[in-house]
Amino acid sequence: MRYNKNLAILLIILGTAFAKAQTSFDKDIASVKDKVIEWRRDFHQNPELGNREFKTAEKIAKHLKSLGIEVQTGVAKTGVVGLLKGDQPGKVIALRADIDALPVTERNDLPFKSKVTTTFLGADTGVMHACGHDTHTAILMGVAEVLSKNKDKIKGSVKFIFQPAEEGPPPGEEGGAKLMVKENVLENPKVDAIFGLHINSATPVNTIRYKSGGTMAAVERFVVNVKGKQTHGSQPWSGVDPILISAKIIDGFQSIISRESKLTDEAAVITVGKITSGLRFNIIPESAEMIGTVRTLDPDMREKIIRRMTEMAADIAKAYGGEATIDWQEMTLVTYNDAALTNQMLPTLQTVSGAENVVPQKAVTGGEDFSYFQEKVPGFYFFLGGMTPGNTEAFPHHTPDFFIDESGFQLGVKALSQMSIDYLNAK
């Protein structure tokens, strides 16, 4: 009887200590809630394009230094990397946030709406965080503050990677995750695993979505240059119309998806997002340029689509008396979640969010250069809900009306913080 009583007392003491530790950790997370929202609004109101995130990087570095975290700036041009060493030795986990905005003119009526304008590829445009990178940055700054207050719970180190140019560097420049890897961001100390999240406007707040294995698509950027023969608009028979040829090429590209790609295996997308040609209504121009993207989730499909598009552009142009060439630029690999790491971290996500709020999903055709980190070390990338509860529709990412509910940010801080502790402390 005495043994059982002592055991009960011991369990009460241990339970009380654990509860205090959890309360302390949760209290730290709650203490940064308003800061995260404030940081996010500041970044949203002052967005910067890829490889030009100078003020954003300055604000991040200042915050990390204030926490006593070792800071390195100028990584991959404008990136910031922080290193937090725990009180005990162990593995190294990396947490990544992307920090760049997009050339989109905001249409929201928010008090912190972006009014920033710039010239992008020769065109005047607004600048907007239309994909939530302001949210990712603010959340990771919050995680850095939480973990810096809990160094005694960290067995190992946490590397905070604030990455520029996720949407792609300006033409002619290097940038993004690929350049960070090239500059050895995953070394010194060597990273054992990496985590990242993406806010999602179509997922309800306090919900987390994930997929083991291939999660997001490989992305290619292509440029088709069509050469015709200029003539008067009233006499098309005396020239070669590159605009007509461009239309036929676009139509042909779509037949590759609808008639040549086995979509029951994986999804694939070909999109032409920009066409430039001509100056006047009554002149058939000499040339046209089309810029677009290909999204694939299967390496064999990727290879086939690239080959067929290259063949088709040239053949269609020739059939109409013109010429066409196509140039390719690899933007991302398949975002691939390591199966063992995903399974290891699922219990943590279910604990912080509630098991019913952690939902598996199918692969998506959006792309992420987080994949370049995953190519080198095991990685786990998941989606965080940003849609107001009760809403059934949401504006897509990369649009002028893109909107995120800020009430879900705290879960992002809690998820990344607890994942770091649990991974590093695992035996």
Catalytic hit among 166, 266, 338, 368: 166
Tens of pLDDT, residue by residue over 253-272, are 999 999 999 999 999 999 99
Both tokens assigned to 137: 């940055």
Q: What are phi and psi of 230, to 5 degrees?
A: -70, 145
pLDDT in tens, 31-72: 999 999 999 999 999 999 999 999 999 999 999 999 999 999
In this prediction, residue 297 has a pLDDT band, given cuts at 50, 70 and 90, of very high
**Cβ proximity of 400 and 105 under 8 Å:** yes
Place of tokens 């910031």: 80
Over the chain, what is the mean pLDDT? 94
Give the angle 184-189-194 at the CA atoms, nearest 5°.
Answer: 75
Q: Where are the beta strands (DSSP E) in 231-322?
A: 231-232, 268-277, 283-284, 287-296
Q: Which two tokens stand for residue 252?
A: 């042909």
Instruction: Please say whether the dihedral angle defined by the alpha carbons of residues 252, 253, 257 and 260, taken in this order, is positive or negative.
Output: positive
The pairing of strands 379-387 and 193-204 is parallel
Does residue 4 have a pLDDT over 60? no
Catalytic option among 48, 98, 100, 405: 100
Kindly list the domain boundaries of the chain, sorted by start residue: 32-211+361-425, 218-332
Residues 6+ apart with CB under 8 A from 237: none
Which fold is adopted by the domain 218-332? Alpha-Beta Plaits (3.30.70)
Residue 284 has a pLDDT of 98
Active site (annotated) includes residue 356: no
Each residue of 208-228: pLDDT tens digit? 999 999 999 999 999 999 999
pLDDT of 9 above 70: no
Nearest to 323 by CA among 214, 390, 242, 414: 242
Q: What is the DSSP string of 308-342?
A: HHHHHHHHHHHHTT-EEEEEEEEEE--EEE-HHHH
3-state secondary structure (DSSP) of residue 202: strand
Q: Tell me what percent of the residues of the chain surpass a pLDDT of 70.
A: 94
Q: How far apart are CA 156 and CA 91, in angstroms?
A: 5
CB atoms within 10 A of CB 331: 22
Comparison of pLDDT for 23 and 311, the residue scoring more: 311
> Helix, strand or coil for residue 291?
strand
Give yes or no for residue 2 having a pLDDT over 80. Answer: no
In terms of Cβ atoms closer than 10 Å to its own Cβ (0-12, 13-18, 19+), residue 275 is middle
The partner residues of 328 in beta bridges, in order of sequence, read 222
For the question of residue 100 being annotated catalytic, the response is yes
pLDDT digits (tens, 9 = 90+) for 333-372: 999 999 999 999 999 999 999 999 999 999 999 999 999 9
pLDDT band at 121 (very low <50, low <70, confident <90, very high): confident
In terms of Cα–Cα distance, which of 339, 360, 410 is closest to 25? 410
Residue with token string 């985590």: 195
pLDDT at 392: 81
Closest Cα to residue 420, out of 133, 194, 186, 142?
194
Rounded to an integer, what distance in angstroms lies between the CA atom of residue 379 and that of residue 97? Answer: 14
103-to-45, 47, 107, 121, 399 alpha-carbon distances in Å: 14, 10, 13, 10, 10
A 10 A CB-CB count for 42 gives 15
Bridge pairing between strands 70-75 and 79-85: antiparallel
Q: Do domains 32-211+361-425 and 218-332 have the same CATH topology?
A: no
Q: In Å, how far are 181, 282, 288, 401 from 376, measured between CA atoms?
A: 8, 54, 39, 36
CA-CA distance, 381 to 338, in Å (whole number)?
9
For residues 368 and 215, what is the distance between their CA atoms, to the nearest angstrom?
10
379 vs 23, more confident: 379
- 344 burial (CB, 10 Å; 0-12 / 13-18 / 19+) is middle
| CA 417 – CA 426 distance, rounded (Å) | 14
Q: What per-residue confidence (pLDDT) applies to 6?
A: 52
* Tens digits of residue pLDDT in 155-203: 999 999 999 999 999 988 999 999 999 999 999 999 999 999 999 999 9
What CATH number should be reported for the domain whose range is 32-211+361-425? 3.40.630.10
pLDDT of residue 390: 86
